[in-house]
Amino acid sequence: MQTPHPSLGGLWLPLITPFRDGALDEASLRRLVRHYAAEPLDGLILAATTGEGLTLDDDETERLVAITADTLAAAGRRLPVFLGLSGSDTRKMAKALDTTAGWPVDGYLIACPYYTRPSQDGMVRHFTALAGATARPIVIYNIPYRTGVNLGNAAMLELAALPTIAGVKDCSADMAQSFDLLRRKPADFAVLTGEDAFFHPMLNQGAEGGITASAHIRTRDFAAVRDLVRAGDAAKALAAWHALSELPPLLFAEPSPAPIKHWLWRDGLIDSPEVRLPMTAVTAGLAARIERAVAA
């Protein structure tokens, strides 16, 4: 029987990683974590796609985790923290799990192997090996339009039977696949949507929550949608979602996380909107749109 992971529901934030002059901006990171520690979030994801994890070296990633843990402790907030990992070599991924075993994280968000496009059987074996390499819960990150391969529901349900496979960040971009998974999944396997624009409809269909980059902005409004759906107040939940629905398209109008970082910078939460190549800053046109939204 799978070990329950009740903390995997609700609103999770894939935290951006602030940079300044090419380095990890530790002052801005502490400010960010203090800010979100006071928000009604259910968890944080570090060093994932929104956190530009592929551009971080090992020392920076370890420092990112340590600062976040220290800042949460100082704020008195016990907020689950998962670490984003990705790679296409199962042995290296298992080594990463071993390397981070002593780090203050509660679990992992692990993307499907990218570029190599393994078979369904290959992905089952990959995640089975990783599930056996850690006692911490793993959330599978299924995002075919980035990795080039889609983990289908038959394979997903096979993996869901493993004790440390706790859920999926679902970015399949196929609503039929997502709804089918929601109908067939075991009760203790969490489906968290990673498509910000689908946050409300996925919750309505029974998803446990979302890993929602747009919730960097108007966090409490996203949490209100979560709470109203949980309370069964469909009309108010829909109205709350309608008030938010223009935000994800704005924040994803250009490659993420540059638009989010620009907003946070203009809002004073980070000292620079800097991103690392190959990501680039927002265009002047989008910057103007964001600044109008910040002012509003």
> Residue 232: in which H helix or E strand, if any?
none
Which residues are known to be catalytic? 141, 169
Query: Which of 279, 230, 224 is closest to 50 using CA atoms?
Result: 279
Check the CA dihedral 140-144-150-152 and report its sign.
positive
Coil, strand or helix: which one is 107? strand
Alpha-carbon span 75 to 213, nearest angstrom: 22
> Strand ranges (DSSP E) for 54-121?
81-85, 107-111
Altogether, the residues listed in the chain come to a count of 296
> Residue 249, exposed/middle/buried by CB under 10 A (0-12, 13-18, 19+)?
exposed
Does residue 140 have a known ligand-binding role?
no
Longest dimension (CA), the chain: 53
Q: How many CB atoms lie within 10 A of CB 45?
A: 29
Alpha-carbon span 45 to 61, nearest angstrom: 12
Does residue 211 have a known ligand-binding role?
yes
> Would you list which residues are annotated within the binding site?
50, 211
Annotated binding residues for pyruvate: 50, 211
